[in-house]
Amino acid sequence: MRLALLTLVSLVLVPSALAAGPRTQTISGTISANSGSSITVTSGDRSVTCAVRGERAQAALARWGVGAKAAMACKRDGDRLVLSRLSRLDSNDPRTTPPTTATTHDGGTTTSPTPEPPRPTTTRSPQPAPPTTDRRYAKGVVTALSPDGVTVTPDEGGDSLRCRLTQASDSASAAARLSLGAHVGIVCRRDGDSWVLAGSISV
């Protein structure tokens, strides 16, 4: 009789003790293991490992890798813990933005959408600056050349550009590359009320 009574008490107390265990566990620390289907967060000498439900959630959480700081909550489901919430507390790689949180929905785990990385922009070649008020440019044929000046008639038409030739180093160097009838590009700088040849190139 006594043995039967003890057995009955044991059958009552053991399930009660198991039921008294925590249904939810939380931890904040570092992700120390991450296979996508399960994730482990460690804080000091304590670690909590939780299963991850749902293929989309597993694929998203696998991208978090290990080493990131996170806060995690898991609910007991039978003999295992299942992830119910996971929040990223830092970002180790500024180039990749992971899902910020993971929560359960209808028994599965879902994640907030991951923003797409910025698309690379196409860099255009810098366009030449428009002529300033103290410079003039022309590309065309040398139609007049004398010791004191040069005239270039532009290819696109319009007024010819006439510039003086001086003994200044830039003017003398540019004039040395000119010949009557040559196809050239020239630049002239303002000198008071006139223009002085400052550069030339054969084109």
| pLDDT digit string, tens, across residues 77-130 | 888 899 988 888 876 544 344 444 555 444 454 554 445 556 666 566 555 555
pLDDT of residue 133: 73
pLDDT of residue 91: 60
**Cα separation of 111 and 169, whole Å?**
71
Task: Decide whether 22-111 matches 135-202 in CATH topology.
Answer: yes
pLDDT of residue 113: 45
Name the architecture of domain 135-202.
Answer: Beta Barrel (2.40)
pLDDT of residue 165: 94
> In the 3-class helix/strand/coil scheme, how is the chain assigned residue by residue?
CHHHHHHHHHHHHHHHHHHCCCCEEEEEEEEEEECCCEEEEEECCEEEEEECCCHHHHHHHHCCCCCCEEEEEEEEECCEEEEEEEEECCCCCCCCCCCCEEEEECCEEEECCCCCCCCCCCCCCCCCCCCCCCEEEEEEEEEEEECCEEEEEECCCCCCEEEECCCCHHHHHHHCCCCCCCEEEEEEEEECCEEEEEEEEEC
pLDDT of residue 102: 52
pLDDT of residue 125: 58
Name the architecture of domain 22-111.
Answer: Beta Barrel (2.40)
pLDDT of residue 27: 93
Provide the residue ranges of all domains of the chain, joining segments of one domain with +. Answer: 22-111, 135-202
Spell out, as residue ranges, where the chain has pLDDT lower than 50: 1-21, 93-100, 104-107, 109, 112-114
pLDDT of residue 93: 46
